[in-house]
Amino acid sequence: MSDSWENSSLPLPRAFTQLLAMPSSLFDAVVHIEYPDWVDGTVDWDRPYVTDEDRMRVAIALSRRNVECRTGGPFGAAIFEAESGRLVSVGMNSVVRHNNCTLHGEMVAFMMAQRRLGSFTLNGTGMPMHELHTSCEPCAMCLGATLWSGVRRVVYGAAREDASRLNFEEGPVFPESYKYLEDRGISITRQVLRDEARAVLELYRSQSGKIYNG
């Protein structure tokens, strides 16, 4: 890799040049993911969120704040205990902020919930049922992770075509993909507060926000 770069006439970014010269033992193989500093001022961790609309408003508020603070793309998500309405975790698109293509809002919410509960599944023995609320219809990666996450329900706001209008790629999601999840006991609720969720996508577009992937 370094030979081809060094032999090419393209200038290398300075940081990248330093990286190539660095012995591999100096690489710190740790992926660090953290919330932006505005999260605690945006959500109330202590109150129960009772209705689907209540819960979706959390996801949408996160998506909006992420755009306003320019910390990522226009997507937010949150995981709740289904019965109590307790907020377990939140997520916001963090792809550009952390240079990590997997950090969609839903993925961040899964990771933070599982970290908080100390469990690789949100459907562990003795656990209450958990559900995901996301401001936009999940992409292929997030829908796949939904199956492994242990949530028993997915609720989304804006539709796939709303994201596609901004040229975000949602990947191979088909009606059969949803049926696959439903056959395994995961229920899907579509387009809750779609207009409010879509307005954040439009805000992002009006700011000429970066389009990276889904």
For residue 117, report the phi and psi dihedrals to the nearest 5 degrees.
-90, -10
Encode 41-61: b = buried (16+ Cβ within 10 Å), e = exposed.
ebbeeeeebeebeebbbbbbb
Cα–Cα distance, 13 to 11 (Å, whole number): 7
Rounded to a whole number of angstroms, the minimum distance from the CB of residue 108 to Zn ion is 10
Cα–Cα distance, 114 to 157 (Å, whole number): 23
Rounded to a whole number of angstroms, the minimum distance from the CB of residue 3 to Zn ion is 36
Q: Name the residue nearer to Zn ion (CB basis): 78 or 142.
A: 142
Which among 204, 205, 197 has a CA at the least distance from the CA of 70? 204
Residues composing the chain:
214
Q: Would you tell me which residues interact with Zn ion (CB under 5 A)?
A: 104, 139, 141-142, 214
Q: Name the residue nearer to Zn ion (CB basis): 111 or 139.
A: 139
Cα–Cα distance, 162 to 203 (Å, whole number): 12
Rounded to a whole number of angstroms, the minimum distance from the CB of residue 210 to Zn ion is 16
Q: Name the residue nearer to Zn ion (CB basis): 104 or 194.
A: 104
**100 and 31 in contact (C-beta within 8 Å)?**
yes
Rounded to a whole number of angstroms, the minimum distance from the CB of residue 74 to Zn ion is 12
Q: Name the residue nearer to Zn ion (CB basis): 209 or 214.
A: 214
Rounded to a whole number of angstroms, the minimum distance from the CB of residue 10 to Zn ion is 32
Q: Name the residue nearer to Zn ion (CB basis): 39 or 139.
A: 139
